Amino acid sequence: APAAALKDEL
């Protein structure tokens, strides 16, 4: 599974 993404974008 891919690494956790930063969820600071829209």
Partner 1 sequence: MNVFRLAGDMMHLLSIVVLLLKITGIKSCRGISLKTQELYLLVFITRYLDIFTNFVSLYNTVMKLVFLGTSSAIVYYMRYDRIIKLTYDKEQDTFKYLLLVAPSAVLALATSHVYTVLEVLWTFSIYLEAVAIMPQLVLLQRTQNIDNLTGNYVFLLGSYRGLYILNWIYRFFTEKHYRQWLVWTCGVVQTIIYCDFFYYYFLSWQNNEKLALPA
The contact set with partner 1 (CB under 8 A) reads: 1-10
CB of 9 to partner 1, least distance (A): 7
Please identify which residue in the block is written with the tokens 């599974």: 1
Nearest-angstrom CA–CA distance, 3 and 1: 7
Provide, rounded to whole angstroms, the least separation between the CB of residue 7 and partner 1. Answer: 6
The least distance separating partner 1 from the CB of residue 8, rounded to whole angstroms, comes to 5
